[in-house]
């Protein structure tokens, strides 16, 4: 028996789960974000709006979301622009989200330019672990430095915050080199400086 399987684009969602913790009437939402592809900001926005509406329905209009848990554990990151999009849903308009600075590199700062979709009165907790890296660290760092929420995790995050360029070399080779590093709003460098797995000293 022959089965025709037409080709089509399969888009994997970054938001893996949107639900409530406990009774929906309690208004504690949960979003699991596994990456930062181009649609991550739109997906998180849709999830927040859906949770707010569901909380209103479950409480008979008494309240929307009371709290939100954003799970970034094991999130390896992705696009810088998507990190800015997601953070802009959470932090006040006009807030610095991340900056890039380096020797001989024109410094650039990324700011939120829209009002947050999450109500400022909604409590926010971000879950992280050692697998939280890159764009996920940009979001968690902005939430922490801007006092928008609390960061919960038993380990340090991965520490991946480099801006790198690639220069072609002869014989089909190339050189990747660092031109800048990413910094949180308070000026903390996201890039880790201790490499325990690579034989360096452990983080203090």
- Active-site residues: which are they? 134, 145, 160
**Cβ(132)–Cβ(157) under 8 Å?**
yes
C-alpha 185 chain-centroid distance: 15
Q: At what angle do helices 135-145 and 80-88 cross, to 10 degrees?
A: 30
> Which position has the token pair 């709003």?
185
**Cβ(127)–Cβ(71) under 8 Å?**
yes
CB atoms within 10 A of CB 168: 8
């Amino acid at each position: 028996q022959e089965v025709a399987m037409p080709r089509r684009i399969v888009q994997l969602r970054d938001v893996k789960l949107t639900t409530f913790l406990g009774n929906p009437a309690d208004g504690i939402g949960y979003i699991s974000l596994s990456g930062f592809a181009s649609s991550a900001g739109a997906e998180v926005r849709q999830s927040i709006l859906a949770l707010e509406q569901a909380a209103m329905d479950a409480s008979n209009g008494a309240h929307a979301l009371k709290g939100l848990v954003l799970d970034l554990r094991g999130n390896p990151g992705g696009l810088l622009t998507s990190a800015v999009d997601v953070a802009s849903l959470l932090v006040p308009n006009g807030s610095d989200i991340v900056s890039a600075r380096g020797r001989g590199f024109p410094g650039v700062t990324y700011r939120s330019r829209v009002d947050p979709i999450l109500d400022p009165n909604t409590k926010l907790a971000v879950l992280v672990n050692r697998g939280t890296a890159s764009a996920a660290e940009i979001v968690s760092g902005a939430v922490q430095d801007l006092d928008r929420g609390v960061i919960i995790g038993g380990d340090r995050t991965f520490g991946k915050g480099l801006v790198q360029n690639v220069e072609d070399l002869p014989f089909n080779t190339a050189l990747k080199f660092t031109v800048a590093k990413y910094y949180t709003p308070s000026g903390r460098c996201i890039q880790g400086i201790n490499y325990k797995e690579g034989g360096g000293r452990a983080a203090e």
